[in-house]
Amino acid sequence: MNAPQDLPRPLLARAAGPGLAEQLAARLAERIVQRLLAPGTRLPSVREAAARHGVSPATVVAAYDRLLAQGLVLARPQRGFFVRDTVREIRAPHPTGPAEAPRAPPVDATALIRGMFHAGVRGSAPGMGTLPEDWLDPALLQRALRQASSASAAAGWVRYGDPAGDPSLRAALARRLADLGVPAEPAQIVTTVGATHALDVVARTLLQPGDAVLVDEPGWAVEYERLTRLGMRLLPVPRGADGPDLATMATLIAAHQPRLYVTVSVLHNPTGHTLSPAQAHQLLRLAEEHDITVVEDDTYAFLAPPQATRLATLDGLRRTVLVSGFSKILTPQWRVGFVAAAPALAERLIDSKLISTLTTPAPLEQAIAWCLDQGLLRRHAERIQQRLAAARERAVHHATEAGARFVAPPQGLFGWVDMGQDTERLALALLDDGWLLAPGTLFQVGRRPSTCMRINFAATQDGRFWRALPAGLRPR
C-alpha cells in the first residue's frame, strides 16, 4: 500500500466550495503554523507541486502567492519559496567578534517534535524518537504507581521533596551505575524532569552566555537549539564510527577555548555509533589537558549492552558528568531524569535545579525506584532489546532492498541511512501521506542539504514506508 490504512492521502476537492488554490494554500499554511514545516524549508517547485496534487502550475502559483501575502513564506528569485521564520526575524542579532565561532542558527527541531504530538502522524513516523506505544508495558507502570501510593510513601507527598531528588531513587540509581562501572554515591546524583532538563541544568550551572561548546555533528538538534537559545557558541565536531574527530576537536579547542563538550557515547543519536575504548581514552586526555568538562548523554542506556564504553566509567566522574533518563524505555510521559557528577558539582547542580523547578515529583521517582529495585525494569529492558533486535533485522532488510545505504552499522533504536538525494525534499513529499520523517538537516548545526536521514527501526520494520516512497524519490 502507498500510505497507512488509517491515514488516507488527503486530496484537493474539486466540488463546490473553496477553490483549489485556496485549499492548497490552507493546507500548507496549517502545517507552517503547526511547525510541521520547519522555518527555512523550501517548498516544492511549482512544477513538482502541480504534479503531486494534480493541479495546474497556475493553481500552485496562486496558492504560493496567498502564503506570501499572509507572511508565511518568502520568495527568493531563482531559488523558490521558503517557509519564513518570523520568530528569529524579530530577534536582535548577537554581535560576534572576528575570533568567535560562527553562531549559525540551528535547524528548528521543534518541527519534528511537534509532529510527534500531532494526531495526523501517530503510528506512521519513521523519524520518531521513541519506542512504539504497543511495545511499552502499562501494567508495569500501574503496578509501580500503586506501590508508590502506599500509605507510608503517600504521606510525604503533601510537602516539598528532597531538593536533590527522592532518596530511594538516588540510592537505586547509585546501584545501577555501579553495575555499569560508574562510581557514584547517592549524594552525587541529582534527579531532574527528564534527561533534557538534566542537560539544561548542567549547562546553566557551568556556562555563561557567549561560551563556546563542542557538540557532535550529526547530533540532536534539540540540544543545538537549546544551547543556542542560552547564548552559547556551537563548535560542531564531526562524529565517526569510533567517536568524534579528535584532530578537528583539537583545532577548535585551540581557536575557541570551549568550556564544555556534550556528546552521546553509547548508541549515538542519530548514527547509532558507540565510542571505542581507544577513542575514549584520547578524548579524556584532551579534555584534561584543556580543562574541558565532558557531558555524557546516556539516554539510550537501557537499549545498550552494559559493557559499552562510557566516559564516566573510565573517568570516574572527575571530569565527566553523566546524564540519563527513563522516557526511552518506560514511557515518554514519565519525565524523570538524573545527573551524576563529582560531589562539589552535584551541590551546584542542586542550586540550579531549585531555581528552575524547585523539586521533582516524588511519586514518579519512587515508582521508578521500585521498578529498579525489583529488577522489573531490567527484565523489561531485556525484552525490549530482544524485540528491537528482530525489528532492526527486518528494517535493515527492507531498507537495503529499497536501495538505501546504511552510513553506520545498524545498532540500537536508530539507523542513519543515505537516500542518495535531499531528504528534506523527501520528508516534505511524504508528509501528505501521513509519514513523519527525520531528514539529515535536522541533525546539523547549520541548515545544509543532506542525503541522510534517521529512521526508527521499530517504526520501519514492516516495509510500508519503503513502499510508500514516490518513484522519483526512491534511493538511487
What does the alpha-carbon distance between residue 30 and residue 286 come to, in Å, rounded to a whole number? Answer: 48
The domains spanning 109-135+379-473 and 138-375 adopt the same CATH topology:
no
Higher pLDDT, 409 or 9: 409
Mean pLDDT, residues 25-54 taken together: 83
Q: Of the ranges 21-25, 174-178, 280-284, which one carries the lowest mean pLDDT score?
A: 21-25
Q: Which CATH number applies to 138-375? A: 3.40.640.10
Q: Which fold has domain 20-88?
A: Arc Repressor Mutant, subunit A (1.10.10)
- Higher pLDDT: 305 or 11? It is 305
The pLDDT, as a whole number, for residue 282 is 97
> Which ranges constitute the DSSP H helices of 36-109?
46-53, 57-69, 86-89
C-beta of residue 217 within 8 angstroms of C-beta of residue 444? yes
Q: What is the pLDDT of residue 330?
A: 95
Report pLDDT for 101: 44
Name residues whose C-beta falls within 8 Å of residue 102's C-beta, 6 or more positions apart in sequence: 96, 233, 446
DSSP tally for the chain: helices H, then strands E: 18, 13
The whole-number average pLDDT for the span 136-149 is 93
d(CA 301, CA 268) in angstroms, rounded, equals: 11
**pLDDT tens for each residue of 318-328:** 999 999 999 99
Which residue has better confidence, 261 or 42? 261
Nearest to 454 by CA among 401, 411, 403: 411
Q: What is the DSSP string of 181-250?
A: T----GGGEEEESSHHHHHHHHHHHH--TT-EEEEEES--HHHHHHHHHTTPEEEEEEB-SSSB-HHHHH
Tell which wins on pLDDT, 78 or 11.
78
Residue 42 β-bridge partners: 82
State the greatest distance between any 2 C-alpha atoms of the chain, in Å, as a whole number.
72
| Residues paired with 414 in a beta bridge | 456
List of residues 6+ apart from 86 with CB closer than 8 A: 39, 71
Q: What is the pLDDT of residues 441-468, one digit of tens each?
A: 889 998 788 999 999 999 999 888 888 8
Phi, psi of 73 (to 5 degrees): -135, 165
In the predicted model, what is the mean pLDDT of the chain? 86
104-124 pLDDT, tens per residue?
333 456 665 665 555 444 446
* Residue-wise pLDDT tens digits, 357-398: 989 999 999 999 999 999 999 999 999 999 999 999 999 999
**Is the pLDDT confidence value at 407 over 70?**
yes
Structural domain boundaries of the chain? 20-88, 109-135+379-473, 138-375
**pLDDT per residue over 233-283, tens digit each?**
999 999 988 899 999 999 999 999 999 999 999 999 999 999 999 999 999
166: pLDDT strictly greater than 50:
yes
Give the neighbor-by-neighbor strand order of the sheet with 233-238: 189-192, 337-340, 320-325, 293-297, 260-263, 212-217, 233-238
- Quote the CA–CA distance of 275 and 267 in Å, as a whole number: 8
CATH of domain 109-135+379-473: 3.90.1150.10
Q: DSSP secondary structure string, 261-287?
A: EEE--SS-TTT-----HHHHHHHHHHH
| 3-state secondary structure at position 419 | coil
Q: Are strands 320-325 and 337-340 parallel, antiparallel or unpaired?
A: antiparallel
The alpha-helical segments, DSSP class H, found in 362-469 are 362-373, 376-402, 423-431, 464-468
Return the top range by mean pLDDT from 38-42, 52-56, 82-86, 335-339: 335-339
